[in-house]
Structure 1
Amino acid sequence: MKQLTRFFWFCSGANFSLLKRSPTESNKYIGIGATVFFTGVLAALAAGYALFTVFQSIWPAIFFGLLWGLMIFNLDRFIVSSMRKKENAWGEWKLAIPRLVLAVLLALVISKPLELKMFEREIDRKIDEKRTGFIAESKLNLAKGFPEIQELEAKIDTLNAEVLDFEKYRNQLQVEYDAERFGEKTASTSGIVGLGTNAKKKEGQLDAAQVTLNELRVRNQVRVDTLEAQIRGFVALRQAEFEKQQPGIDGFDGLAARMEALDALTTESSAMSMANVFIMLLFIAIETAPIFVKLISPRGPYDEYLELHEDKVRLFKDEKWTFARGESESRVGYFQDTHFYATDLQKEKTNRKNKAQTEAEISKIESDFKS
């Protein structure tokens, strides 16, 4: 229990020695530390899931998820530990506002991957709908990209229609021939029963039409087979092109795609939108809870000890600075005095030397002039 308490103290960023001197503050900082710790755990889980959708591998997701969780934990710990309880409440709020903004941003980042996980089934359904639409669109575009298939199919339809039309003509001759044999009176028959001249004539026309029909069927079937072979070649090319696009369609399951699907779901469903907002608010509340605890809690013994310790350090620094400045000023004064004295003495020696040299030169000139 003691180790767990010290761990949560560490998570809260509190000073152990000062907390031991103020035991009434222990529970408050245990609560703050636990909030910071579990926020880091949630951040690690959220990042791990988000990165798993990116890498599609568990080990990189675990590694980077733990790294992200430690970073969020360190940021939260810094935010909480850097806050100080002041006598002025407005001063505390001014210091807390930037930290609250950062905490809200962190909460938004942490909550989004967990939202994706919570609504995973609905998102999967939406992504399947998207994939179906992409497949239909891809096939439509590929169909437009291969107009030769439609042209060849049109030629096949023309050849088949030609055979059908001639079959109709041949069937019409069969009807007229039967009517002539059985004595049915029509516009093209004589109405005499039996195989007369007209019946034999129509029989000859029917036989010729049947021969022509057989030849037409064989000839058009050869053409149809050739056209169908060409169509199969173009269909194979179209299928190969579709198979090139298929991995991209099947792989439409990344983080951006899931966020887009979640956005579409929240737009379509008010219930989904409300649930999304509530989850986001929950994480904002969790992330900002340690800051608000520090803001609303009264100034306690730990804060007094901490301020006293920091004031002592500040006073010690001022003392050291004053002492160091005094020593420095003393050394500078001594240097200036000795330096200026040495300089004046050197100037005097130089003047004496120059004066003696000048007098010697004048004496030499005068002696040379007299001689």
Structure 2
Amino acid sequence: MTEASTPPPPPAPRGGTRFSPLLWASGANRDILRQSPTDKTRFQGLGSVVIFTAALAGASMAAALHIALKAPWPVIVLLTAGWFLGILSLDRWLVASMTRTTSKWGVGFLALPRLALALLFGFVLSMPIVLQIFAPEISQEVNVLHAEAESRYQAQTADDQVGKRIAALEKRKQQLEAQITSGGLPATPDADPTLKQLQDKRDQLQKELEQRREKLTCEQLGKCGTGRAGLGPEARKRIQDYNDTKRDFDTADTQLNNYLAQLKTKGVQDAQNELNGQGGAEGVTAELTRLKKQQSALQAQHAADTRKSDGMALRLEALNRLSQKNGTIGTAHLFVTLMFIAIELLPVLVKMMQILGPPTVYDDLVAAHERENRETGAHLARRDADVARVRAADDVKYAGLVYDARRAMLESLAQRTAMAEGEVGEAALEEWKRREMARIPADLDRYVRTEPGYGAPPASASPGGFAPGTPGGFGTPGGFGSGSPGGLGFDPPVRPANPGGIAFDPPVPPGNGGFPAGRPAPSGGGGFGGGPSNVRVMNGRPGDPYGGGAPGGGASGDPAPFGGAMPFCADPHRGAPEAGGG
């Protein structure tokens, strides 16, 4: 154990393991706190602050649920309990995550985001409680807001289509009622163009008649005109003009009176019909009554909905208006809000004061415990890294060993395969030799023919073999199976194998022409495989009876009996003349 490591804690006193809500809320390490009993009271105080703040948040949630949702009390209690536990856990994390650092400025930087978060929660959580404190004043202001909303809605409905129609019907109703009251005459002459025209004509003639009367009187008195009093020619002329105007006036007045009589007879009936309706048509009075009922119903519904609106937003608006209109309420609102914000900030502030104070025994024990944990963690990390490196090296070594073992196994298999192929090829060659030797006594002509000039007729054969007409050696072209011309063949031929090689049944794995790695013969080509072979009949030298030539075996370049270009010679010591086919 290092010098800075924490000694093992002493046995806990009796009852020390009991759960303490205050210590849990403070975020203290109970195992370390047992070694520093003097710090227990300090953390109990911090835990009580955290629990009190969470309880205040729960009360705020209950008020908000009651104001905004009008929720039943069981639901309020359940949601309030959940909110209380959530805020309790959050405040506990805020105080537990603040640890002592070497710099006081560092403590301040660590506390800033926590203070900002606590400030936000304090401002939000204080609103429902503030609304409950000023509930009576807010309710009165809410009624004022409701009345204002109803007035605005009534003004709005008066300006809409229904409101404008109601205003027009009320005006028309007044006109019709005035017309009925006046005996059928319209309320104003302007309402009837004919009446206005007749009345204007009569008024004009009446004014002209008065003017002519004044002129006639003035002429008779000698005050104007000729200046001579009495009934002279001028006076008589003016009397005639007056009489003519009087006659026109009487005619116009009679026409007006006759038209007024007609209006009185017809106007009252028409006004009553329009006012009350006729023939099933809706009259002015009925339409006006219907539209007013419709408008009143809308206004009553809006008023009822407005009075039901008593949520938190409306109460906040009422509180804001009260604060602006009443300075006392505004000041009280401000200080109450600040008080609740301070209560929400209290856990973080208390924790900051503890950190900024001198370190206690608990702080020293926590620091030692954290150092030991860091050292232990670093040691475990190094150990895990070493184990990982050893495992990686073992994996690499194992992979190398597996690769080497597989490579050795493959080389052994390749050697054994090559040896087996060689043995099989030798056995096949011996068997072929035995069979051919057995056939010679019975069919010598198949193998021996004479050249012209040696007493034997020329054989008719295609180039390249003893069998008439088939190129490529002993029988079927292609060696011990069908393949390239120039090898050994069997009669009947065996099934095809690799080109130019020996066929086996079952076939051996493909190799270099059916034999181990085919190395070319010292002289001569062809052989048993598809490529150059290390098996040949004889050393192929030019002029040898069995020498190979192109195509089909023996030494390259010269015709040979087995190659098919040089005919077989009875005298092997004689030169081999060129021939056109065997």
Q: Which interval holds the TM-score relative to the shorter structure?
A: 0.7 to 0.9
- The answer for unaligned runs of 5 or more in structure 1 is 168-211
Please, which of 78, 92, 105 is the counterpart of residue 77 of structure 1?
92
**In the alignment, what sits opposite 2:195?**
none
Please, which of 105, 110, 119 is the counterpart of residue 95 of structure 1?
110
* Structure number with higher relative contact order (C-alpha < 8 Å, ≥ 6 residues apart): 1
**In the alignment, what sits opposite 1:339?**
399
**In the alignment, what sits opposite 2:363?**
303
> Partners in 2 of 1:4 and 1:132 — Cα distance?
60
Please, which of 278, 286, 306 is the counterpart of residue 249 of structure 1?
306
Taking structure 1 as reference, are residues 34 and 5 closer, same or farther at Cα in structure 2, changes over 3 Å only? Answer: farther
TM-score (ref. length: structure 1): 0.77
Please, which of 36, 40, 44 is the counterpart of residue 22 of structure 1?
36
The answer to whether structure 1 residue 52 and structure 2 residue 66 are counterparts is: yes
User: How far does residue 105 in structure 1 lie from its aligned partner after superposition?
Assistant: 0.9
Is the 1:48–1:66 Cα contact (8 Å) retained in structure 2?
A: no
Which amino acid in the other structure matches residue 153 of structure 1?
A: E
Instruction: Give the match's secondary structure for 2:98.
Output: coil
The answer to whether structure 1 residue 323 and structure 2 residue 383 are counterparts is: yes
- The answer for unaligned runs of 5 or more in structure 2 is 1-14, 185-262, 277-282, 423-515, 520-527, 540-582
Which amino acid in the other structure matches residue 274 of structure 1?
A: T
> Partners in 2 of 1:152 and 1:219 — Cα distance?
16
Which amino acid in the other structure matches residue 367 of structure 1?
A: V
Please, which of 126, 129, 148 is the counterpart of residue 144 of structure 2?
129
The answer to whether structure 1 residue 312 and structure 2 residue 480 are counterparts is: no
Equivalent pairs, count: 329
Taking structure 1 as reference, are residues 214 and 56 closer, same or farther at Cα in structure 2, changes over 3 Å only? Answer: farther
Please, which of 143, 168, 189 is the counterpart of residue 151 of structure 1?
168
Taking structure 1 as reference, are residues 4 and 336 closer, same or farther at Cα in structure 2, changes over 3 Å only? Answer: closer
Residues 286-324 of structure 1: CA distance to partner in whole angstroms, max 9, x if unpaired?
122222222222222222222222332222222222222
1:1-371 alignment runs, 5 A limit: 6-59=20-73, 60-145=75-160, 146=162, 147-162=164-179, 165=182, 227-297=284-354, 298=357, 299-351=359-411, 354=414, 361=516, 362=518, 365-368=533-536, 370=538
TM-score (ref. length: structure 2): 0.51
Which amino acid in the other structure matches residue 341 of structure 1?
A: L
Aligned-pair identity (%) = 24
> Partners in 1 of 2:19 and 2:36 — Cα distance?
14
> Partners in 2 of 1:352 and 1:111 — Cα distance?
89
> Partners in 2 of 1:152 and 1:338 — Cα distance?
106
Is the 1:55–1:61 Cα contact (8 Å) retained in structure 2?
A: no
User: How far does residue 347 in structure 1 lie from its aligned partner after superposition?
Assistant: 3.0
Residues 25-63 of structure 1: CA distance to partner in whole angstroms, max 9, x if unpaired?
122211211111111111111111112222212333332
Is the 2:95–2:347 Cα contact (8 Å) retained in structure 1?
A: yes
Which amino acid in the other structure matches residue 391 of structure 2?
A: R
> Partners in 2 of 1:148 and 1:342 — Cα distance?
102
Is the 1:44–1:65 Cα contact (8 Å) retained in structure 2?
A: yes
> Partners in 1 of 2:125 and 2:264 — Cα distance?
77
> Partners in 2 of 1:220 and 1:352 — Cα distance?
130
User: How far does residue 213 in structure 1 lie from its aligned partner after superposition?
Assistant: 9.3
Taking structure 1 as reference, are residues 141 and 55 closer, same or farther at Cα in structure 2, changes over 3 Å only? Answer: same
User: How far does residue 125 in structure 1 lie from its aligned partner after superposition?
Assistant: 1.6
Is the 1:127–1:252 Cα contact (8 Å) retained in structure 2?
A: no
Which amino acid in the other structure matches residue 21 of structure 2?
A: F
